[in-house]
């Protein structure tokens, strides 16, 4: 793996760290398998790219992407809590609808951002000379650290504890006076905001937004969460959030390494195959650990 590939793995790992935190919030905290993230990731990218091309400041475009991502999460929650759709079906319906919505937002299948100013050029361009190829990693690291800190603090507040209680046992939460429907709506709104933020950052780093860029996002987020939980001991919420980010970075390293080692055996088109194998191995790790401990 050369330097450029190393930098790319770190950048993508940090970006997908936002996705991993969103998947963790919906899947682990709320126990809600939200498949709409396959649509909210390109929604964030499409919204951000379309607004930047239209002359909107990159920061405002990124915030708008998060707002629309949160709105998509609210729709998923509404289908589940008010119309009583299955959780999986709610996410699938929103994901399917977002494909057409993303096309409407962009007006075409993809939008290039070459020559356009992003948040990196607007705020962090002075870092380019001293840091070289690593200059974009530093602001992404700052942003994901800030989001992780805010999420950790939020989940320890009364509202955050109510959110966790809803995911743990919704019936018991209702018995304690918690509005479980509101908690599900809030959780999915936050989760999809994080995913859309990841999409917006991805578009600005990669220099384009594409309507099909969200395919497999839920698998990537799930892989990051599972890998992170397998390699790090989870004793507190802060450990779990850190595990999501670490798992996303490790996932990108493993993918890049596998495609490099594979040589002619593996190609870029085999990415989903490698991801599926990696997720399968990660899911087996907890059981293997228990078996090893039992034998000792």
Condensed to tens digits (0 to 9), the pLDDT of residues 209-243 reads 999 898 889 988 988 998 888 888 788 899 999 99
**Residue 208: predicted pLDDT:** 92
The residue with greater pLDDT, 263 or 279, is 279
Given a cut of 90, whether residue 154 has pLDDT beyond it is yes
What's the rounded mean pLDDT across residues 171-194? Answer: 94
Split at pLDDT 50, 70, 90, the class of 161 is very high
Separation of alpha carbons 271 and 267, rounded Å: 8
**Residue 216: predicted pLDDT:** 84
Which fold would CATH assign to domain 3-295? ABC transporter involved in vitamin B12 uptake, BtuC (1.10.3470)
**Residue 31: predicted pLDDT:** 92
**Residue 30: predicted pLDDT:** 93
Given a cut of 90, whether residue 124 has pLDDT beyond it is no
Cα four-point dihedral sign 19, 139, 13, 118? positive
Given a cut of 80, whether residue 18 has pLDDT beyond it is yes
Split at pLDDT 50, 70, 90, the class of 164 is very high
Domain segments of the chain as ranges: 3-295
**Residue 151: predicted pLDDT:** 95
**Residue 272: predicted pLDDT:** 74
Separation of alpha carbons 193 and 146, rounded Å: 14
Given a cut of 90, whether residue 284 has pLDDT beyond it is no
Mean pLDDT for the chain overall: 89
**88 close to 151: Cβ distance less than 8 angstroms:** no
Given a cut of 90, whether residue 273 has pLDDT beyond it is no
* Assessment of whether the complete model's pTM goes beyond 0.85: yes
**Residue 277: predicted pLDDT:** 82
The residue with greater pLDDT, 234 or 181, is 181
Given a cut of 70, whether residue 268 has pLDDT beyond it is no
The residue with greater pLDDT, 141 or 5, is 141
What's the rounded mean pLDDT across residues 42-65? Answer: 95
**Residue 64: predicted pLDDT:** 96
């Amino acid at each position: 793996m050369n330097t450029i590939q190393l930098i790319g793995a770190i950048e993508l790992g940090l970006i997908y760290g936002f996705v991993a935190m969103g998947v963790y919030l919906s899947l682990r905290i709320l126990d809600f398998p939200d498949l709409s993230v396959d649509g909210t990731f390109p929604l964030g990218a499409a919204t951000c790219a379309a607004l930047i091309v239209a002359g909107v400041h990159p920061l405002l475009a990124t915030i708008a992407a998060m707002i629309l991502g949160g709105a998509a999460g609210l729709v998923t929650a509404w289908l589940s809590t008010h119309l009583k759709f299955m959780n999986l079906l709610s996410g699938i319906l929103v994901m399917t609808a977002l494909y057409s919505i993303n096309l409407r937002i962009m007006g075409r299948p993809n939008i290039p951002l070459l020559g356009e100013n992003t948040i990196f050029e607007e705020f962090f361009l002075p870092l380019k000379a001293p840091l070289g190829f690593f200059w974009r990693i530093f602001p992404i690291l700052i942003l994901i650290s800030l989001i992780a800190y805010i999420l950790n603090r939020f989940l320890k507040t009364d509202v955050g504890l109510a959110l966790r209680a809803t995911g743990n046992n919704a019936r018991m939460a209702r018995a304690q006076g918690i509005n479980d429907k509101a908690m599900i709506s809030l959780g999915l709104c936050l989760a999809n905001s994080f995913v859309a933020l990841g999409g917006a950052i991805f578009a600005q780093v990669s220099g384009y937004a594409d309507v099909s860029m969200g395919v497999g996002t839920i698998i990537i987020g799930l892989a990051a969460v599972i890998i992170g939980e397998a390699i790090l001991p989870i004793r507190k919420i802060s450990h779990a959030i850190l595990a999501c980010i670490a798992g996303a970075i490790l996932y990108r390293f493993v993918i890049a390494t596998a495609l490099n080692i594979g040589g002619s055996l593996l190609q870029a088109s085999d990415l989903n195959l490698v991801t599926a194998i990696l997720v399968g191995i990660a899911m087996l790790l907890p059981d293997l650990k228990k078996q090893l401990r039992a034998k000792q």
